[in-house]
Amino acid sequence: MQASGFINLNKPRGLTSHDCVGRLRRILKTKKVGHAGTLDPMATGVLPIAINRATKFIQVHCTRAMFLDKAKAYEGTIRFGITTDTDDITGNVLHEDPVPWLTRAQVEIQLQTFVGHITQRPPLISAFRKDGERMYKLARAGAVCRTERCADPQRRDPVALGARICPKRLSRGTRHRPLASRLMCMQQVSIHVACSEGTYIRSIARECGERLASSSSSCVGGTLSTLHRVQSSGFTSATSLTLEDIAAHVESGTFAPSPIASGLPHLPTWVVDPAMEFRWRNGMAVWWDARHRGTDWPAATGEADTLSAHRVVVAVYNPSHEFLGVTTLERMTDEARSPSSTLMYAVTGPRLFAN
């Protein structure tokens, strides 16, 4: 049986995420390979790869849930005084003007406006969907146009996207640090961004440049010149492997993906006895009374208030600590179905089995 699990790939510059999947299919000699979290071709860094049975854990299901951790972190460089049609350095230059007057204080003031919950305008050349179509396809067909460069993002652009920029690093086991910026030269600044899924770092570069103004221009302009993802879905760049590393391990017979459970450490754990496991595996109704949870509901990583939630996605284990899969527990409030209990849960939604 072919191995299943996750690969922490260090994506090289110049390849699309789909290109990486294609190469790994050839290296691993398996068709069941997928990636979690697209990286632009110019970007490098952590690209979680699922192989074989692990691929079902990165799909978006009917509950709109993708089970991997959605926290991401990036390091990049913004170049000011230049705008491009892709919002990164690989695009066609639309405007370029030196900004020797730009100061560190001016840049840092604007960068701090992106901390917290924000609304972004996605780049025109992006995989973001508008009316069911990818933005890059609409842009090439002329179905969406580039609005005024310094327009209000709420009123003037065709699409708005919600995102959350966190002022702290999200890596587990490390000390939380504020979002950092370091001035590299008069026209460039390096940034560290910890954020949720769906955040476009290219949009941050463009919008930061739009908000910086001089006496001679309405906006300075900014574009992303480098981008490296240092964390995604619980994987970090410190343990990532290149395509060459993976090929060498396969050739030497030492290749072993990370277990499926390694990509789900953020999920609360639910330990089931053999009878409940049988019912769960066979699609039967499963009820669980949290009042009698005992040791079968360990403290969940990052989920101190798990039992107060109406619905919670959990990683399922047996008493021997063997990972069985992922399921959804929903708190029942119908007295006819769960009489005299406000802590009765039922299994709802998809049941994903590890084996």
Residue 132, CA atoms < 13 Å, CB-side half-sphere: 0
- The DSSP output letter for 54 is G
| 118 C-beta neighbours (distance < 10 Å), count | 18
Q: Cα(269)–Cα(250) distance, rounded to whole angstroms?
A: 32
Residues 108 and 152: their CA atoms lie apart, in Å, by 21
Beta strand residue intervals within 12-128, DSSP E: 33-35, 44-51, 72-80, 82-84, 93-96, 116-120
Strand runs (DSSP E) across the chain, as ranges? 5-11, 33-35, 44-51, 72-80, 82-84, 93-96, 116-120, 129-130, 133-134, 161-166, 181-185, 188-195, 222-232, 235-236, 269-271, 287-289, 311-317, 323-331, 344-353
Q: Which of 40, 69, 87, 157 is catalytic?
A: 40
252: exposed, middle or buried (Cβ count in 10 Å: 0-12, 13-18, 19+): exposed
Q: Please name the residue that has the structure tokens 């960068």.
A: 111
Tell me whether residue 131 is one of the annotated catalytic residues. Answer: no
71, 216 contact by CB (below 8 A): no
Tokens of residue 51, six digits: 């192989």
The residues assigned a catalytic role are 40
